[in-house]
Structure 1
Amino acid sequence: MDVSVTTSSNALGAFLRDRRCRLDAAAFDLPTARRRTPGLRREEVAQRANVSVTWYTWLEQGRGGAPSADVLDRIARALMLTDVEREHLFLLGLGRPPEVRYRQSDDGISPRLQRILDALVLSPSIIKTATWDIVAWNRAAAVVLGNYAARAPQERNVLRMMFCDPSVRARQHDWESVARFVVATFRADAVRAGAAANVEALVEELSRASPEFAAMWREKEVGQHSGGTKMLHHPTAGLLALEYSAFTVDGRPDLSMVVYNPATPEVAAVVKRLIEAADADK
């Protein structure tokens, strides 16, 4: 028998057995005497997951067809899987990641993430939530994009600034085009992060405050914030060309990082002068 083929054809069962055997029966107040193998028994996992022992046994043996997402979710909880282990379980069992469970965190960002932002000296960079609240930025962003520290936390929302702040609107090279892009990308980001329900209050607020937002939201367009070029009217430096790229923060589906790189050496020199001038004014 080709052991490698057998193993790869039942990767789901192998993963389940491995995680089952890692659990400590004593931690679940289960008897530990007369156990021939470490970990929990199949029937114990099945009971915790509220599935039949036969069905769970078939899963470990690679029989019975693909499990449902609900069954995998219950097994993940029964086996005390971490988020990354749960995702791996779904990829093995269904060939796709699980539905995102949005969890808004009030913890802010880690010092490590802030150091990454600060290392991008001439690249204005921000970190935003799935509801597009800006929660972190670097010095270049404060100088080029706007002084976020001067705003109250609830006013650091990209959509609020875009549709309700005339100064932010004036910085856009083609406000209507940028606004449509922001709305379409925001809609896609919220759904992707599982945060669609969390943005309802914000959407209602902006729809009342801005007829333009209300009209764009009704169009139901979706977009992607992967990368491109942004033309920005700076109050003192004039028109700046910035190339942007967006990245998901690993392990934090509620956060994404957007980095704006000067498109030319000349723009980089302008950004450097702006930072130096701002630092001199301190």
Structure 2
Amino acid sequence: MSAKPRGVPPELEEMIDSWAAIPAFIRDRYLTVVAANGLARSVSPSFHEGVNLVRSTFLDSDVLHTSPHPRLIAEHVAGTLRESLSRHESDGDFEQIVEELSAASTQFAAAWNDEEAVPGEQDTFTFPHDIVGALTLGYQQLSIPRHFDLTLVVWRPADEPSRTALAELAEIASGASEA
């Protein structure tokens, strides 16, 4: 196994933590969340530090089972991993993720083998939420200068009902962090 990624610079953690109304997290090249703000953690259990988004999508969650478009999500996540692999050198951790998921998930194996599957075909996702209802959010991924292995992911509401629900969730999340 290769070395663990270096820690997230404190100034980046402080920056995303200051965005109380914007769900944001930082992921590494293996698509593992390495830092997340409170609102991102409130949006999805997948957006917690230490969660690998690929494993979470294909093995640990109901994302594919509850989505009206599981094939699109599978292709998107596999394509994002493929894109990361194209920007970074392959190593044991990449190989382990791909081997593990290819063996455990036919959906991952099919999406991984579809070389035309690319991220960006779908940039909005709907997250069910027990308290505020469904949130339809779009995202942007931003490379972090001087930290080539890290990517900032920032979410935004895709429609007015989601904007209202996200504002309500942000208020709840900020109240929980103050308690």
Q: TM-score range by the shorter chain?
A: 0.7 to 0.9
2:118 to 200, 223, 226: 223
Partner secondary structure for residue 238 of structure 1: coil
Instruction: Please identify the structure whose Cα radius of gyration is greater.
Output: 1
Structure-to-structure mapping, 1:124-135, within 5 angstroms: 124-135=23-34
- 2: CA distance, partners of 1:126 / 1:221: 27
CA contact (8 A) 1:227 1:246 kept: no
CA contact (8 A) 2:127 2:134 kept: yes
Q: Quick one: structure 1 residues 243 and 219, their matched pair in 2 at CA, closer, same or farther if it must change by over 3 Å? A: closer
Partner secondary structure for residue 45 of structure 2: coil
TM-score scaled by length of structure 1: 0.55
CA contact (8 A) 1:125 1:141 kept: yes
TM-score scaled by length of structure 2: 0.83
The corresponding residue for 1:272 is 167
CA contact (8 A) 1:226 1:247 kept: no
Structure 1 residue 275 displacement after superposition: 3.3
Partner secondary structure for residue 138 of structure 2: strand
List gaps (5 residues or longer) in structure 1.
Answer: 1-102
Structure 1 residue 197 displacement after superposition: 5.5
Q: Which has the higher contact order (CA 8 A, sep 6+)?
A: 2
Residue 259 in structure 1 maps to residue 158 in structure 2: no
CA-based RMSD: 2.7
Structure 1 residue 104 displacement after superposition: 5.6
Structure-to-structure mapping, 1:194-273, within 5 angstroms: 194-195=89-90, 198-225=93-120, 228-273=123-168
CA contact (8 A) 2:23 2:43 kept: yes
- 2: CA distance, partners of 1:147 / 1:214: 21
Structure 1 residue 272 displacement after superposition: 2.6
- 2: CA distance, partners of 1:139 / 1:171: 24
The corresponding residue for 2:43 is 144
Structure-to-structure mapping, 1:1-282, within 5 angstroms: 105-146=4-45, 148-149=47-48, 153=50, 156-170=51-65, 172-195=67-90, 198-225=93-120, 228-278=123-173, 279-280=175-176
List gaps (5 residues or longer) in structure 2.
Answer: none
- 2: CA distance, partners of 1:222 / 1:176: 10
- 1:123 corresponds to which letter in structure 2? I
Structure 1 residue 215 displacement after superposition: 1.8
- 1:180 corresponds to which letter in structure 2? E
Q: Quick one: structure 1 residues 228 and 148, their matched pair in 2 at CA, closer, same or farther if it must change by over 3 Å? A: closer
Equivalent residue pairs, number: 176
Aligned identity (percent) is: 28
